[in-house]
């Protein structure tokens, strides 16, 4: 069972805006930074967002992140078919002294 | 460009030791932290542990008693050994680099996995 909780699935139509949530306890998410990874079928995960809302170079601006209290969110605007993938939140948990991942959210583009 | 490549047996017998190596190019294993992460078929990601530039290691409590991560600086690679393998260890194993530091423009800290290997499937079965 993941320390970080994500909905197992999400969906949207092309052009739509979708959000994926990631929630944790105050001992995990409350004081720490969240990263988001995209895993397209059959490939390794790729970082989309780090430190809650920062985008690495090369990641399109339609991907954005936010964090408030013990909940973080990934938003994808202008949804495209190639966005169909699994999305994971992750954070370094000081209390566990290790990395924790959310269970992942499978995004379907209808 | 940093590249990581996992290698090792794709099939391991129960109770034996699972051994994998990650070859690194484009960076030195003397920099940053080098991680192992696994993903059972159809499931989510699980961090196994890392070795850092000083050779210090840190493991997930779920595998701590069975896992050993080591580094070979002469070959610029690092390895994972997982003893007493069971079917529950069947997974795609990824090696990944993690970077941490402070943004120059606003001093905000960052720590994340920035480069990953392609992954290798290890099946534990007799």
Query: pLDDT for A46-90, tens place per residue?
Result: 999 999 999 999 999 999 999 988 899 999 999 999 999 999 999
Are A51 and B47 in contact (CB < 8 Å)? no
Query: pLDDT for B83-99, tens place per residue?
Result: 999 999 999 999 999 99
Residue owning tokens 């690495």: A56
Check pLDDT > 70 for residue A6.
yes
- What beta strand segments (E) does chain B contain? 3-7, 11-12, 18-25, 33-39, 46-52, 57-59, 67-72, 77-82, 91-102, 109-116, 120-124
Q: Which residues of B touch A35 (CB under 8 A)?
A: 112-113
More confident residue, B67 or A25: B67
Are A35 and B112 in contact (CB < 8 Å)? yes
For A51, the closest of B61, B110, B114 (CB atoms) is: B110
pLDDT at A94: 84
Distances (CA, A) of B114 to B64, B72, B84: 24, 21, 31
Are B44 and A54 in contact (CB < 8 Å)? no
Check pLDDT > 70 for residue A30.
no
For B44, the closest of A43, A51, A88 (CB atoms) is: A88
Are B94 and A98 in contact (CB < 8 Å)? no
Q: Which residues of B touch A72 (CB under 8 A)?
A: none
Arithmetic mean of pLDDT, A27-39: 82
pLDDT at A2: 58
CA dihedral for B114, B25, B30, B22, sign (positive or negative): positive
């Amino acid at each position: 069972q993941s320390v970080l909780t994500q909905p197992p699935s999400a969906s949207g139509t092309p052009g739509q805006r979708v959000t994926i949530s990631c929630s944790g306890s105050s001992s995990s998410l409350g004081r720490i930074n969240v990263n988001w990874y995209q895993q397209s079928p059959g490939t390794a995960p790729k970082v989309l967002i780090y430190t809650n809302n920062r985008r690495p170079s090369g990641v399109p601006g339609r991907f954005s992140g936010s964090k408030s209290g013990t909940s973080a969110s990934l938003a994808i605007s202008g949804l495209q078919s190639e966005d169909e993938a699994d999305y994971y939140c992750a954070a370094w948990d000081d209390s566990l002294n290790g990395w924790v991942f959310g269970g992942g959210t499978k995004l379907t583009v209808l | 460009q940093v590249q990581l490549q996992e290698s090792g047996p794709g099939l391991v017998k129960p109770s034996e030791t699972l051994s994998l190596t990650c070859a690194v190019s484009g960076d030195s294993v003397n920099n940053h932290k080098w991680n192992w992460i696994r993903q059972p078929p159809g499931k989510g990601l699980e961090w196994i542990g890392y070795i850092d530039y000083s050779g210090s290691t840190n493991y997930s409590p779920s595998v701590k008693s069975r896992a050993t991560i080591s580094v070979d600086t002469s070959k610029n690679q690092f390895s994972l050994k997982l003893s007493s393998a069971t079917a529950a260890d069947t997974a795609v194993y990824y090696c990944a680099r993690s970077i941490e530091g402070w943004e120059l423009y606003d001093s905000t800290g960052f720590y994340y996995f920035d480069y990953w290997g392609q992954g290798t499937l290890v099946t534990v079965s007799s």
